Amino acid sequence: MSAQAAVSVPSLSSDLLSLTKPRLSGLVLATTAGGMWLAPGELTVSRILVTLLATSGLVGSANALNCYWERHSDRFMARTQNRPLPSGRMDPLVALFFGLGLAAVSLPALALGANVLTAVLGLVALLSYVLAYTPLKARTSAAMLVGAIPGALPPLMGWTAVTGQIDAGGYVLFSILFLWQIPHFIAIALFRKDEYAAAGLKSVPIERGDDSSRLQIVLYLVALVPMSLLPFQLRIAGGWYLGVAVVLGLSFLALGARGLFQSLGRAWARQTFLFSLLYLTGLFAAMMLDSGGHV
């Protein structure tokens, strides 16, 4: 093997890995694991491993296909312009077949390792993310709501991998993730508004303005706070979780309200984005620590 070929192999591996967006995939896997941990029922080590590995492959597929679709607009955003496709380091067909290959392996593995219902939910997440959310981003800010559906499915998939059915507990986990994503997405769109505009992507700040964006953040947080209390009502988690959920929820709402009433700008939007990550991490950690869980 030549020195040039030896150098190119790890570079290709690194680029393929970057197509799967590991940091985003990590968040998805964490919420999937949370759904499995919280669900009532027996859970074997093999089912945990297969479900997480197959879900990881499915998320990687969706992200790779998203990178393929958005390779032209990604050139105009600072955080995406150095990705393998917009930078020209990778042939687009490599990314396309990589994404399709991951899906072809992951979906059957999810059906066999968990159950058919979980695989169907995974397929819905994949198709809605790639074929609905991704193309709509360039047409309407309503794409955000469409994108929140596949983003909210992972904890429900974790739940159904254990229970084999969609019930109240699974719906609540889905709803928490759905409502959380809107303030999270809008905050990103606020402090990266110029990049979104340059890339030709629609967002609430671009279509409706900053005031409407701040208002929507608060409205969705008003809905998120009581929704986050339902795991206690359903006995998914206990009183300690309830206290954490109240403190985190009211803190998040107060941060959003401060931005709304003081008409704050990008620094506040970035702070809101960062706090949204802390909120979700803290909420799920408290829920898992204050539940029966599995051993």
pLDDT, tens only, 100-147: 999 999 999 999 999 999 999 999 999 999 999 999 998 999 999 999
Q: Which residues of 114-144 are buried (b: 16+ CB within 10 A; e: fewer)?
A: bbebbbebbbebbebbbeebbebbeeebebb
Q: What is the residue extent of each domain of the chain? A: 1-140+153-164, 167-295
- Cα–Cα distance between 52 and 110 in angstroms, integer? 9
- Whether the predicted pLDDT of 295 surpasses 70: no
CATH of 1-140+153-164, one of 1.10.150.120, 3.40.50.10470, 1.10.357.140, 2.60.40.10: 1.10.357.140
pLDDT of residue 13: 86
With contact defined as beta carbons under 8 Å apart, do 141 and 197 qualify? no
pLDDT tens for 5-43 read 444 444 888 888 889 888 878 888 899 999 999 999 888
**Which pLDDT does position 9 carry in this prediction?**
47
User: 189 φ, ψ to 5°?
Assistant: -65, -30
Given a contact cutoff of 8 angstroms between Cβ atoms, the answer to whether 199 and 74 are in contact is: yes
pTM equals 0.91
Q: 185-223 pLDDT, tens per residue?
A: 999 999 999 988 888 889 999 999 999 999 999 999 999
Q: Which fold has domain 167-295?
A: Four Helix Bundle (Hemerythrin (Met), subunit A) (1.20.120)
